[in-house]
Amino acid sequence: MSQRRRILVVEDEPSICQVCLRALTAEGYEVEIAVNGAVAGKMIGEAEYDLCIIDVRTPIMNGKELYHYIEDKYPDLKNKVIFTTGDVLDEQLNSMLKVTGRPYLPKPFTLDELSAIVRKALRG
């Protein structure tokens, strides 16, 4: 039997953490939560993840800073990132998403939207 896929959710809103944890665990994924990019960076250094779901706006180290950290330290992981955001897509955020080429999930999102984007990201 193959090992379960491991997903790191970087999110500072407890309710969204719980939704992601419940939904993705129910689909058979192993899910870990980091409340900000600094915590996530440490976790990425200690374990391997198949996918990172990163909120663009987290305290201490935001999603963009975390992505650049991943690019620099763990380049194999940079193509395994999904961004989430509750912000309106302004020019700066739009530009970052274009440059990274990574998918994003606008908040609030449905469980179906979360499942679909995760399955697609893990396939490709």
| Model-wide pTM > 0.75 | yes
- For residue 96, pLDDT over 60 is answered with yes
The strands making up 6-10's β-sheet, listed across from edge to edge, are 30-34, 6-10, 51-55, 81-85, 104-106
CATH number of 6-123: 3.40.50.2300
Cα separation, 37 vs 73, in Å, equals 14
- For residue 1, pLDDT over 50 is answered with no
Cα separation, 20 vs 53, in Å, equals 9
Cα separation, 84 vs 74, in Å, equals 20
Mean pLDDT computed over 51-75? 96
For 30, phi and psi rounded to 5 degrees?
Answer: -90, 125
